[in-house]
Chains A and B, each alone.
Chain A
Amino acid sequence: MTLAAIVILALGGLALALVAPNFDERPTVLGGISGTIFAVTLLLGFGAMQESGILYGAVQLGSVTGLALVLLSLVGLLVAAGATVRENGFALGTGEVHALVMWGVLGGVLLVGSAHLLIFYLGLELSAYSTYILVGYDRNRRFGTEGAAKYMILGAVGSSLLLFGMALVYAETGSIGYAGIAAGLSYNVSALAIGGLVLMLIGIGFKLAWVPFHAWAPDAYQGAFPLMAGYLSVAPKTAVALGLAVLLARAFGGAADMVQGWITALAILSVILGSIWALTQTDVKRLLAYSTIVHMGFLGLALATGLLVGYVAVGYYLVAYIVTSLGMFFTLEGLEAHGVESNLEAWKGLGRRSPLAGVLLAIFILSLAGVPLLAGFLAKLYVFAALAQEGSWAALIAAVVMVVFGYYFYFRLLAALFLEEPAAGAEAVRLSPTAITLMVILALAVIALGVWPQPVLQWLQTAMAALV
């Protein structure tokens, strides 16, 4: 089933890119095709639970791959729907955008399903190249090209470090298959292997935007149009986080504990510094970039525990973050389409100019902050529970203290929305019905996940059990 989904994604992307020019006048048709394909692959993802290898064992299709397929298809589906928020489509062709998103998703699925470093690298690059293009897609945006260039150069540095690390690991263990590496690292991790693992983790850290490898994120977010910034904030992160979990569980063998220690250090650094830097931001998308850095830090803390609770926390964090972050960026997209720039100055009094947008934004922001009864709170709760179960009290204290910082900078957004007066002469903002429907669905999902997470958690627990 998963194999079928992979093939469908590859061909679907191709087809979209080929037929696209014929439909540029009718962007909804393209969105419909793309959305249908993602809906199919999403359902196929639920069908995949048996562990089986294909391509001589280089790709492992199993419950975790199925999980990745579901989450990434969900992202694709939502982005395809979100693209319709732009009523006139994209100046440089709408079909290409959908095709690139689809290939990005394909790369992400391969990345998680890989049991071989080469496939891991290919998947990573396929997903990364799609996002490089998407970030700079709108040539007319003020910071678009700059953000894309920075993102691409730093991304290339990260990729080459990752590749170099893989070479060192190969030199030590004589294998680039996960099982072979795990066997080679099962005892006595040599200095060479440590060097290789460090470089690999740095490469992965670039993709997850962990401090100190995060510098590209604020620029890329600011430069991209909001929809793509939203895609950027969830899709590559979902893929790389799950891919790293698979690496930890299946490839790093005896070295996994050590790598987990490094991840904890990077994650704490991301949570603390990201929160502090976020305090001074005035551009909403830059602020959300730092918010992503902090969220990836929390996620890393859970990942580093290596416990089932930790992996479930990672999965739930991703689900919660996908609906919350996409909801947030869709709203931004809708607002920018009506001339409301994404900065605190333009947001003043927005809650009065558009009460509906204000309330929806408030739900997403509160979920990002981790206020109870919304998805974001339970995500953090599971991270904390994983830390407590592992007995990492110092990390737990650091994490809970930074939640307070988080509240502070998210409440600055709320303050701008509701407590400030609108600028003189500002008119009411009316969002399109499509945009409103989409945002309301996502807001309801945020609430539902926070109040009744049981089905999702159960599903995650079953899927993640393959990793422990």
Chain B
Amino acid sequence: MTVLLIFLPIVAAAFVALLDDPEAETAKRIALGVSLATLLASVGVYFAYPVASGGFVSEFKLNWLPLIGSSFHVGLDGLNLPFVALTPLLTAVSVLASWRKTDKGFFALMLLLQGALVGVFAALDLIVFFLFFEAVLVPMYFMIALWGYEERRYAAVKFLLYSLVGSVFMLAAMLATAYLAAPALNHISFDYLELLGVNSYLAALPAAGWLFWGFALAFLIKLPAVPVHTWLPHAHTQAPTAGSIFLAGLLLKMGGYGLIRFNLALFPGELQRFSGILAAIAFVSIVYGAYVTLAQRDLKRLIANSSVNHMGYVLLGIASMTAVGLHGAVYQMVAHGVITGLMFLMVGLLAERTHTREIAAMKGVYAAAPKLGAVLWLALLGGLGLPGLAGFLGEFQSLWGGFLGAATRPYVWWAVFGIVILAGAMLWTIQRVLLGEKGDDLDDLEPHEIYAAAPLVALAVALGLVPALLTPWIDAGVQPILMLVQEVLK
């Protein structure tokens, strides 16, 4: 099943690219169909997952590069399932959001992204993880560079270079990890589960710190954390709506997921050693991200910058190394995927109508287009962490976890100001954009746009009110890692 979830969209992408379909009429229907089919399948796997016993399901292992000890090993557990299910959902939303596009290539790229992203989350072999981690970049680059806004090429290149710098160091760290762990395993292996078994040996390596930062740099760039976040405002702002949804909803999650999956699980000792630094980075991301959000004039850029703030909570939760904090980090990632995806969707649709992203040029959107205005309103409230919506639970738990962790506690006192500042930014945006007298006439949401927004609205509310939809899965994924961590730290 995992293999199907990865490769069905990729095969479909090749098929769509070869279609003789100048208006992309068939292409977009195939893309929608494939993403919905995989969504159904992954939701099925999600609810069939045995949350009580945990462990990996739908594992698949194929001998691939035996000489260097890498195999095509993928599998699903409580930690990656939420993201594996979120990926086809956001793909379907993106396809609907791009319904007016007439290039089949655009839809092929989306399917390619979907497959590669599921591959990243499901990979249980370091080389396979790297493979998909890189494979995500190419379609994203072209999506921004070909279909983006006015400064698209600059943004695309910047995104690519930042990502590549991180990933080559990660590759070096992966190779070093596998070869340095070889004496403990008696053979060279890039298999995640095998390496996990010898993480106490890894912890004792003199080079452990270097390995840790090799991984961490790639993930902090992806997350993104201040000061390596500067690619984000450009990429998010310049990307087409679908690209922004992918970027914010899924690509950033690769960073947080990687930090938990690799940095925490393989190098817990180093994470503890450097948790002060990570907490400081998280604190700066939260407060600085909120301040920068407050200063934006471009609506899309405003939302992009709020992501820096939101992902700061993720890093804070991880740096705390507590069950609550990690739980919050994962919850926050899923919630951010839903809510920020929704924000970018609405802003994209709004910008299509107003032909500008300038906040100063908009007013009274709610009066002009009540449906669009209402959904955007809800999304912005979700962005500020309103209780009852998904974002609140993530932020709250991350902060609480941060408070419980010794290294993160000093920063939590001040990090809460980030909430206030960001709330200010969001409310002020609501006031400037949505409220006020009706400006120019705007078309309200069309049916396909409502279908695109509806699942995200529903999820944002459901995850805010019924955490049981997500919590048991996160527990099943995070608890085993935490137990391993505590063993190593002893």
Binding site for B on A (CB under 8 A): 308-309, 312, 359, 366, 371-373, 377-378, 381-382, 384-385, 387-389, 391, 393, 396-397, 400-401, 403-404, 407-408, 411, 415, 418-419, 453-454, 457, 461
Contacts and interface: CB of A to CB of B under 8 A. Distances in A.
Contact of A400 (B65, B67, B169): B169
B168 A372 contact: no
Contacts of B64: 454
B169 A312 contact: no
Nearest to B171: A400
A367 B35 CA distance: 28
Contacts of B188: 389
Interface in B155-192: 157, 160-161, 164-165, 168-169, 171-172, 175-176, 178-179, 188
Closest 6 CB pairs of A and B: A388-B175, A400-B168, A372-B131, A385-B68, A388-B179, A372-B134
Contacts of A419: 145-146, 153
B83 interface: no
Given A381-B65, A385-B68, A388-B179, 19 more contacts: A359-B17, A372-B135, A373-B135, A381-B127, A387-B175, A397-B172, A401-B168, A403-B164, A404-B161, A404-B164, A404-B165, A404-B168, A411-B141, A415-B145, A418-B142, A418-B145, A418-B146, A454-B64, A461-B67
A175 B17 CA distance: 61
B239 to A, nearest CB: 15
Interface residues of B, number: 32
A366 B146 CA distance: 17
A384 B67 contact: no
Contacts of B146: 418-419
Nearest to A396: B172
A381 B68 contact: yes
Contacts of B169: 400
Interface of B: 17, 63-65, 67-68, 127, 130-132, 134-135, 138, 141-142, 145-146, 153, 157, 160-161, 164-165, 168-169, 171-172, 175-176, 178-179, 188
A391 B178 CA distance: 12
B172 to A, nearest CB: 5
B156 to A, nearest CB: 9
Contact of B171 (A308, A384, A454): A384
Given A366-B138, A418-B146, A312 B176 contact: no
Contact of B65 (A366, A384, A457): A457
A184 B4 CA distance: 60
12 contacts: A372-B134, A372-B135, A381-B65, A384-B171, A384-B172, A384-B175, A387-B175, A388-B176, A388-B179, A397-B172, A407-B164, A415-B145
A383 B380 CA distance: 49
A403 B171 CA distance: 11
B127 to A, nearest CB: 7
B164 A396 contact: no
Contacts of A393: 176
A394 B310 CA distance: 37
B161 A408 contact: yes
Interface of A is mostly: helix
A271 to B, nearest CB: 13
Contacts of A312: 67
B138 A371 contact: yes
A382 B157 CA distance: 27
B131 A415 contact: no
A296 to B, nearest CB: 20
B175 A385 contact: yes
A407 B138 contact: no
Contacts of A382: 68
B305 to A, nearest CB: 26
Contacts of A418: 142, 145-146
Point out which of A308, A366, A401 has the most chain B C-beta atoms below 10 A from its C-beta: A401
A73 to B, nearest CB: 25
Q: Which of B146, B164, B169 has the most CB of A within 10 A?
A: B164
A312 B66 CA distance: 12
Contacts of A401: 168
Nearest to A390: B179
A411 B161 CA distance: 11
B179 A389 contact: yes
Which of A378, A381, A403 has most chain B Cβ within 10 Å?
Answer: A381
Contact of A415 (B68, B153, B168, B179): B153
Given A381-B127, A404-B165, A396 B67 contact: no
Nearest to B153: A419
B68 A309 contact: yes
Nearest to A385: B68
A116 B156 CA distance: 54
A384 B160 CA distance: 22
B172 A403 contact: no
Contacts of A403: 164, 168
B423 to A, nearest CB: 39
B1 to A, nearest CB: 20
A373 B68 CA distance: 16
Contact of A453 (B65, B127, B134, B145): B65
Contacts of B131: 372-373, 377
Contacts of B175: 384-385, 387-388, 396
A381 B65 CA distance: 11
A453 B132 CA distance: 17
Given A388-B178, A457-B65, A457-B67, A400 B135 contact: no
Given A373-B135, A384-B172, A393-B176, A411 B153 contact: no
